[in-house]
Structure 1
Amino acid sequence: MVNIAGHHHISMITKNIKVNNEFYQTILGLRRVKVSVNQDDPSMYHLFYGDLIGSPGTGLTFFEMPLVGRTHRGTNAITQIGLLVSSYESLVYWKKRFTQLGVKHGEITTYAEMEALHFEDPDGLRLVLLNHNGKPIPQHWTEWNHSNVPSEHRILGMGNVEITVQSLENLSSMLQNIFDYTLVSKSSHQAILQSVKGQVFGGIVIVQQDGPKERPGRGSVHHLALRVEDKEQLRFWEKRIKDFGYKIMNLTDRYYFESLYFKEKNGIIFELATDGPGFTVDTPIEELGKKLDLPPFLEPKRAEIEAKLGPIE
């Protein structure tokens, strides 16, 4: 049986790339591993943050939309991103750090059966640090040693991702029937599922909520990408998704990985993305994130693209 190995990356909307860049590098201590553009609209920056090489499962990516308005929160949306840290002491460290740096945050609490610290980025994107309690992480996650956060407190990678929907049953059954997710717990209004049983780096928390649908804006999540090993597995999932009656929105080669997009019945967009070739396909490890990288099909338009992009630093 082919399995979903966890999350691959998650993609959001930011209003100001300079503010975003400062927050995720300087405050959260992540590495900027790729500066590129939206391949479907090259006038728009696309930034990737993660570990040393932006390993699958560590990637937070952002599209810059300077004219975007605020998010009108509601249902049928990806509503919170979990990030793993090693210990309860790490939560204490981050609470103090957020207080000192003026980051909006709550108290240390519990979320999805884990000790947690909720916070928001400058766009109002909701995130939560989760105590992984020293448990093993995927072997391919690679620490970046130039972070300004002490090694023992650094963000490891993605954990539970929260999705709020009108029909919990539709999303839950889709994840179980198509992708063989394990149902960990379920109540009348919430369910927790895992792509790898017992591992939160592929966890999805589904919250059932009626009412108006979210109207996306700055700080909203566009899609969640699930991790697949290679293009052969991607073709397997393409057929399986179609066999269950879902339409493929797009199947494309993003150069750094191959991608498939589809929308489930509540309107949530999922991407399936391959592990490789990865961000080092065109850039040495030590140079990742330092310049604008373009896929080969956009390289002939580099001068035109660069003229439309403002400075990040």
Structure 2
Amino acid sequence: MNGFLGSLRDGAGFDRLLVGLALAYLAVFSLFPIIYTVVMSFQSVDLFTLASFDRPFVGLMNYADILSRPLARTVLLNTAIFVVLSVLFQLTIGFALALFFAQDFPGASTMRGLFLAGWIMPALVVGAIWKWIFAGDYGVLNAFLQSVGAIDGRIFWLSDPSVALYAIVIANIWLGVPFNMLLLSVGLAAIPRDIYEAADLDGAGPVRRFVSITLPLMRAPLGAVISLGTIFTLQQFDLVAALTQGGPSNSSNVAQYWSWQLSFQTYEISLGSTVAVLMMSFVILVAALYTRSTRHEQSF
């Protein structure tokens, strides 16, 4: 004990202490909840058996139960639409903004910082703002669309089953664009300027430079943005809770919110854990594919 305290006073071993504390934190607040959730997905757990360890082992019955429910198809389709549209438009708009702010003009840094202000706000706050924007009776979006003649009547964005999911997608795109812009701006800044100068001397136009230089050299940042965007969108619970709560009639219900409903509304805790494990498995698959692709690129 004295030797350990002496090493701390001398500075040697302090790094080990910090690493040990970090590992302990991850074990308690990350590893244990993951293992606990996986175990519950193979047990029969409800409100009455949650506080005890008298939980029958049911094997894969929870997975068969979840996948056989009619709501599972709706939730799966909604989740796919939510993820694909969010990642696609976050990437496209974020890349366009990154290219725009890569130009040298007065106020570029200030404007980029203003875009990032939306990203640092909590998702519940963003949801409250967009709930006001989407309001059918007094919402800003309806007023704007009517003023430009795009619509004749009011659209009830959050209570119409045909548009509720897309309203959440719009809010999530707005929330995620600044993060995409930031990562892609870093990737653009890493491209040597002399490559573009040489292309200019060869007579390459903007489109040619973008296709032949920017896109190939941005493969790794683009892959990172797509992977992280998919993971963050699958974790996006707050916007759904703030805007539609999965309604109306489950038209905007997605996997992350359904997992919460099963666990804390209907108290089918083992089924909620099952949905969470399925989502976690998909996230791990996305991360593994991205890691493998980056290693493949580095091997050349």
Going by fraction, where is helix more abundant, 1 or 2?
2
The verdict on a shared fold, with TM-score over 0.5 as the criterion, is no
TM-score when scaled to structure 2? 0.22
Decide which structure has the larger Cα Rg and report it.
2
Greater strand proportion = 1
